[in-house]
Amino acid sequence: MKVYLDNAATTKPLATVVSIVNELMIDDYGNPSSMHAMGLNAEKIIKKSREYVAKALDVEEKEVYFTSGATESNNTAIFGAVNQMKRQRKHIITSKIEHPSVLMCMEKLEQEGFSVTYLNVDKDGIIDVEELKNSIREDTILVSVMAVNNEIGAVEPLNEIYKLKNKYNFIFHTDAVQAFKKISVEQFNMADLITISGHKIHGLKGIGALIVKEDVKIKPLILGGGQERGFRSGTENIVGIASLGAAASFTMHTDRVLELKNKLALELSNIPGIVINNKNAKAPHILNISFTGKRGEVILHELEAKGIYVSTGSACHSNKFGESHVLSAIGMNKNDIGAAIRISLGEFNTEKEIEYVIESIKEIVR
């Protein structure tokens, strides 16, 4: 049996995505900037996808800008906001558990002389809103806090940040990669800048979007031919954009995913030697567990031998962050961090698969 449980790293493309890709590559390969019918057709595909993404996020179509993925969206949001305001202001706030595509930008800005506050999180990975409030300065440009953490599924209190935004005057960015299509949009679509990614929601890799609210001004990062209304140059990735549109408009069954996660968590918590590291996580798809006295990568390969694919920590960060900075920030000790694996569920997992995983883990522990 093959059981894919690494959906926070990437997901299987939907069948509709695969057929759209096939169709577009054979017939509709025009450049939307071309003035002939094939160009016009490509433009229509982008328009339709923008409509789907806007609808799924409950934002305006004109607020959606397609990018090459969440890494670019995060870079654009952060540097775009800073470049807009760097003459007057020098301070940025983020959290200690952001994705490297946020943290590396912060590091670069610090090297350039900006001051960055890294908010602490509690044992569940949740920021302290009081600490945030106390960190806001007159020269704060940006607050960037993710909606859902990719290693432990913590859902951050973005509504509280939004309330502060209305009182103080900063730009509010959220990396919503692990939130989009997983939790309700009201929990994250109030941010000024919102990052999403195609391949985390059963679309293609190399496509994402940055939502820029109409009243927010940030500088573009990629200059050139003026595509995406001058905000993001480069010939549009039509196939990717179409895949993002299709995935965004697809009805995901998150209740079912949550049920499977809860079943898995309950059964695993009864196995001696297994600790659930994210008991209170509100995200429906991420379970983080440690195998006391064992190494996460050893367990990963033992599971792999049984056809089960999981991850240690997060699959997508560079070695620079080494041992999970997220698990460390929630106060776990080095041994438990080294013993951790992340199981992330998705749309296509079944109850039968979860039962097989439970039995397999029992066997491994034995």
Q: For ligand PMP, give the closer residue by CB, 98 or 274.
A: 98
Question: What does the alpha-carbon distance between residue 361 and residue 276 come to, in Å, rounded to a whole number?
Answer: 14
Minimal distance, residue 76 CB to ligand PMP, in Å: 12
Interacting residue with ligand PMP among 69, 153, 203, 346 (CB under 6 A)? 69
177 near ligand PMP, rule: CB under 6 A: yes
Minimal distance, residue 176 CB to ligand PMP, in Å: 8
Binding segment for ligand PMP (CB under 6 A), chosen from 84-92, 175-183, 232-240, 261-269, is 175-183
Question: What does the alpha-carbon distance between residue 300 and residue 274 come to, in Å, rounded to a whole number?
Answer: 14
DSSP state of 90: -
Minimal distance, residue 146 CB to ligand PMP, in Å: 6
Using CB atoms within 10 A of its CB, is residue 128 exposed (0-12), middle (13-18) or buried (19+)?
A: middle
Q: For ligand PMP, give the closer residue by CB, 71 or 360.
A: 71
Torsion sign (Cα): 290, 296, 302, 307:
positive
Q: For ligand PMP, give the closer residue by CB, 177 or 341.
A: 177
Q: Which helix (H) or strand (E) holds 116?
A: strand 115-119
Question: What does the alpha-carbon distance between residue 248 and residue 246 come to, in Å, rounded to a whole number?
Answer: 5
In the region spanning residues 311 to 330, those forming contacts with ligand PMP, defined by CB under 6 A, are 316
Q: For ligand PMP, give the closer residue by CB, 94 or 101.
A: 101
Amino acid at 171: I
Minimal distance, residue 208 CB to ligand PMP, in Å: 5
Which residues on neighbouring strands pair with residue 343, listed in sequence order? 287
Contact 114, 82 (CB under 8 A): yes
Neighbours of 246 (CB within 10 A): 26
Q: For ligand PMP, give the closer residue by CB, 3 or 146.
A: 146
Q: For ligand PMP, give the closer residue by CB, 140 or 195.
A: 195
Q: For the chain, how many helices (H) and strands (E)?
A: 12, 12
Asked if 105 is an active-site residue, the reply is: no
The backbone torsions φ and ψ at residue 299, rounded to the nearest 5 degrees and listed phi first, read: -60, -40
70 near ligand PMP, rule: CB under 6 A: yes
Binding mask 128-147 for ligand PMP (x = CB under 6 A): ------------------x-
Six-digit token string for 42:
């490509």
Binding segment for ligand PMP (CB under 6 A), chosen from 48-56, 64-72, 81-89, 237-245, is 64-72
Binding mask 85-124 for ligand PMP (x = CB under 6 A): --------------x-x-----------------------
The backbone torsions φ and ψ at residue 291, rounded to the nearest 5 degrees and listed phi first, read: -105, 100
125 near ligand PMP, rule: CB under 6 A: no
Question: What does the alpha-carbon distance between residue 321 and residue 230 come to, in Å, rounded to a whole number?
Answer: 34
In the region spanning residues 189 to 228, those forming contacts with ligand PMP, defined by CB under 6 A, are 197, 208
What's the CA angle centered on 212, arms 206 and 216, to 5 degrees? 150
Minimal distance, residue 38 CB to ligand PMP, in Å: 28
Distant-in-sequence, close-in-space partners of 54: CB < 8 Å, separation ≥ 6: 60, 61, 63, 64
In the region spanning residues 144 to 173, those forming contacts with ligand PMP, defined by CB under 6 A, are 146, 150
In the region spanning residues 230 to 289, those forming contacts with ligand PMP, defined by CB under 6 A, are none
- Options 315, 316, 358, 365, the catalytic residue: 316
Whole-number Cα distances in Å, 315 to 7, 138, 206, 327: 10, 37, 16, 14
**Active-site residues: which are they?**
316
Residues that bind ligand PMP (CB under 6 A): 69-71, 99, 101, 146, 150, 175, 177-178, 197, 208, 316
